[in-house]
Amino acid sequence: MHAPLAPGYRPALSNGWWLSNRRYFLYMVRELTAVFAALWAIIFVTQLPQITAGAYSNPASLVSSPLWFAFSLVSLAFVLYHAWTAFNATGTLIYLRMGPKPIAGGSLNAAMFIAWALATFVIAFVFVTPAIGG
Amino acid sequence: MYKINTNEPFWWGLFMGGAGMIGMFLPVLILVFGLAIPGGAVPPASYDTVRLIHLLGQPASVGNLLVKVFLFGVFSLTFFHWAHRFRYLLFDLGLHGGRTAVEYLCYSAALAATIYTAVTLFVIA
């Protein structure tokens, strides 16, 4: 799928390059957010049949355990770091124009955060309000 | 001879879609199903079994089909986001050999997780 390295070429980078500098380290932490996002998602999916069978009311189930709570807390921290850095990069990644003037990057970032707050509120409201889908 | 990798935009597209899904929707899902409900911060009536079956289980209704399509979209793109990022994470950590094998493994795992999620959401749960 990718072009092979040219013969005789040896990458000069050491395997610990990302430990040499705070920015490199944070870049790798950001890469790692994907691992926690996918792990949380796949574990949640494996628990769905138990959840619809009442796992949240059963103290012995995984989703009622302190382990799940702690893992979710750690995952949330990583996912929020992903969200924070992604939304703050929006204005750098996307160029939009209204009329002759480009929209300031800061405004695009702010729009992402407002959309995020709205989405969070609406989804939490739907899942947590007993009258919806009860 | 150098060859342009024409597959890359496809995987990058899934990756970028997943980045948006993870940022926008995963925090609130983790907050609700990982912290608020297990932590007892929401009324028990919101997660009693009858309601959760109506919301996430079988038989599928119009309302819970929307929930399931939403969850499927978020989770499947999350898996492909992981696949692409983890592949490059391994390369960044100094993996030089077996790159094609890593690519197949990562994207195959994401595909398998996606199929598993579809079956769980639409057939089993």
Domain A17-128 CATH (choose: 1.20.1300.10, 2.60.40.10, 1.20.1250.20, 2.30.42.10): 1.20.1300.10
CB contact under 8 A, B35 and A76: yes
Identity of the residue in A3, A54, A128 whose CB atom sits nearest the CB atom of B3: A3
User: Could you tell me the fold of the domain covering B12-124?
Assistant: 3 helical TM bundles of succinate and fumarate reductases (1.20.1300)
- Please state, in angstroms and rounded to a whole number, the distance separating the CA atoms of residues A1 and A32: 23
- Please state, in angstroms and rounded to a whole number, the distance separating the CA atoms of residues B19 and A91: 16
Confidence of residue A15 (pLDDT cuts 50, 70, 90): confident
- Please state, in angstroms and rounded to a whole number, the distance separating the CA atoms of residues B119 and A24: 39
CB contact under 8 A, B26 and A37: yes
Structural domain boundaries of chain B? 12-124
Q: Can you give A17-81 as a three-state secondary structure string?
A: HHHCCHHHHHHHHHHHHHHHHHHHHHHHHHHHHHHCCCHHHCCCCHHHCHHHHHHHHHHHHHHHH
Confidence of residue A132 (pLDDT cuts 50, 70, 90): confident
* Chain B residues with beta carbon closer than 8 angstroms to that of A7: none
Question: How do residues A85-99 score in pLDDT, each as one tens digit?
Answer: 999 999 999 999 988
Question: How do residues B68-122 score in pLDDT, each as one tens digit?
Answer: 999 999 999 999 999 999 999 999 998 888 889 999 999 999 999 999 999 999 9
Residue of A nearest to B85 (CA): A31
Tokens of A94: 């996307």
Q: Which residues of B53-76 are buried (b: 16+ CB within 10 A; e: fewer)?
A: bbbbbeeeeeebeebbebbbebbb
Size of interface A-B (CB pairs under 8 A): 190
CB atoms closer than 10 angstroms to residue B47 = 25
pLDDT of A130:
84
Instruction: State the residue for tokens 């695009």.
Output: A108
Closest CA to A70 of B97, B39, B75, B105: B39
Tokens of B118: 């579809």
Kindly state the DSSP code that residue A97 receives in the 8-state scheme.
E
